[in-house]
Amino acid sequence: MSKLKKANILLPVIAAFLLWIKTYIVYKTSFSITIENFMQEIILFINPISFLLFVFGLSLFFKTEKGKARYIILTSLILSFILYANVAFYRFFTDFLTLPVLFQTNNFADLGDSAATEIHWYDFLYFLDVVILYFLTRYYRKHAEFAPVKKSSRRAYFLISAAVLFLNIGLAEAERPQLLTRTFDREMLVKNLGTYNYHLYDIFLQSKSSAQRAMADGSQLVDIENHVNAKYAKPDPEMFGIAEDRNLIVVTLESLQNFVINNEMNGETITPFLNELVDDSYYFDQFYHQTGQGKTSDSEFLLENSLYPLGRGAVFFTHSGNKLNSLAEKLGDKGYYTSTMHANNKSFWNRDIMYEAIGYDYYYSAQDYDITPEISVGWGMKDIPFFEQSVDLMSTMEQPFYTKMITLTNHHPFKLDEEDKFIDEFDSKSGTLNRYFQTVRYMDEALRQFFQELKDEGLYDNSIIVMYGDHYGISENHNEAMGQYLDKEVTPYVSAQLQRVPMYIHIPGVTDQGKGKTISKVSGQIDLKPTLLHLMGINSKNDIAFGEDLFSPDHQDFIVFRDGSFITSEYVYTRNTCYSKETEEPVEETFCEPYKEKASKDLGYSDSIINGDLLRFYDDDY
């Protein structure tokens, strides 16, 4: 029996060990964490243990056997749920949970089918160690006499826990200097700190972010203004004002990636209308989405403000009360009627609140559309009836108007009714990718009809139509299937290139009838606002914006992703590796080094503006 008494200190160790091994298995099987050398593997292996030893070690202070057992079981269950929540989130977004995402509860009811497709029958295995612990604690409670743990034993236990933590931090800092000051890349934090320590650090970042607004003042804008003024790209005189006084119609193309344009799937054309439109538009074939965890809402934020989204959560939720200087506001000041059109719940992504901050005159939401089950699929109203009813609403708007439209049908899990399938499914092991081609083809048909409806209503000739993909549709979890379609391995370089999304600027009378042009500048969603302002005859010289006019001769071939990766005309920097565009192979990091500080400054200054609500101190004058 005396030996079993000693087991009282072993129970938290066993609990920590089981969850430690499970966490490492999850790292290797459920997350795509890049390991570059043996030291990184060692860090990945040890990073959960210090936190687990500490949190389970608190059970050593319990005075009763029952209380100790309950604490260990409950703690294991909670931590297992956190781990599994990250797995489920990662399956859908290829990202890790952050605290702001957990507060986006308004979205949970709308996730429906998308979330269900990412939950599998075998997921109970993620909680298997909790079951083992339950029976183990019952065994000890039955056969062992409870004995409180001595202070000296507790002290030794926690010293070991602290030693492991410092070892982990030391190795991580040696492998990745200034780790905690480069928080743009969550994978880097998880790989070096561990899932559980990462979440503690995330809580710290959230509290820090909340304090920034209270402590902010206008003096912080000085360096930021100097930075953005140095980036300002003068408009091309031939393009400035070319669409002045026209209606501006912006279409957000849900989940549309560039690889489907001018391409086929099993001999079938995927986007026949969009292929034709390339010749009738200014088409940007090196245009990238730059969204973070906010996905479509982030793309809207980029469009309206030329600020980067946050690295954690969605600005639409975390900072909906901020003062903004949006595209809608600028056009509204010029006499435009401004609106947004999205046949979804008003509160989804907190749009009903955020759209007021952006400055739209009206939000055409689900309540403004005649939505029936016959014309709905997946996330809501099908694109063809959405465009049809939207054009009817446009015909009643006072002109000139600016309206932004958000499509829905080409959305994960990419399901269609049989009558809407214009091409067959692909034949990979990924049902998501297989169905994706069908919903893209449906969107293409919807856009063809939309253009015709604009012509029929007499709105086409006096409008400018801008269309862009909002974010990726096929995540890195489907790289094997994507490799089958592309007929090559999806390396980190190829994955970065897959973040290209289509971007069209169609100006009737200017680009139609085959008078368009393909422009291959490295660019992104951050560039939309200054580009559109200049086309509409509004100078953005005094605007705090991080993008540049796409038509300007001064536009730089440089874009930054939310995780700190970036792309130039010659190099791609992703997953802490510098790639040559010419060879698609890794090169010396010195080639990418000159751009790192610029990327970090862009993201850091933009974050400061959002977290400090700094635009409330800024008075622009056009």
Which distant-in-sequence residues (6+ apart) come within 8 Å of 62 by Cβ?
A: 68, 71
CA neighbor of 249 nearest in space, from 303, 200, 290: 303
Report how far residue 44's alpha carbon sits from residue 398's, in angstroms, rounded to the nearest whole number.
Answer: 59
The structure tokens 């004995």 sit at 147
Quote the tokens at residue 360. 């739209």
Q: CA dist 91 to 119, 476, 478, Å?
A: 9, 9, 10
Q: Residues 68, 73, 74, CA angle at the centre, nearest 5°?
A: 100
Report how far residue 283's alpha carbon sits from residue 533's, in angstroms, rounded to the nearest whole number.
Answer: 18
Handedness of CA 173, 178, 183, 188 (dihedral sign): negative
Report how far residue 317's alpha carbon sits from residue 351's, in angstroms, rounded to the nearest whole number.
Answer: 9
Quote the tokens at residue 525. 């969603």
- Order across the sheet with 566-568: list the strands: 558-560, 566-568, 571-574, 577-580, 586-587
Quote the tokens at residue 329. 């506001």
Sequence letter at residue 570: E
Question: Looking at 23, 75, 291, 296, which residue is catalytic?
Answer: 296
Handedness of CA 568, 572, 574, 576 (dihedral sign): negative
Report how far residue 442's alpha carbon sits from residue 421's, in angstroms, rounded to the nearest whole number.
Answer: 7
Q: CA dist 546 to 47, 523, 530, 559, Å?
A: 37, 12, 9, 10
Quote the tokens at residue 471. 């974010």
The structure tokens 């751009």 sit at 595
Report how far residue 10's alpha carbon sits from residue 154's, in angstroms, rounded to the nearest whole number.
Answer: 12
462, 476 Cβ separation under 8 angstroms: no
Q: At what angle do helices 49-57 and 65-93 cross, to 10 degrees?
A: 150
Give the number of C-alpha atoms closer than 13 A to the C-alpha of residue 314, restricted to the C-beta side.
24
Report how far residue 425's alpha carbon sits from residue 434's, in angstroms, rounded to the nearest whole number.
Answer: 5
Indicate if 296 belongs to the active site.
yes
Provide the strand spans (E) within 242-295. 247-253, 264-265, 268-269, 282-284, 287-288
The structure tokens 């930021």 sit at 224
Rounded (10°) CA dihedral 56, 62, 65, 66: -80
Cβ-based neighbour number of residue 568 at 10 Å:
18
Query: Annotated active-site positions, please?
Result: 296
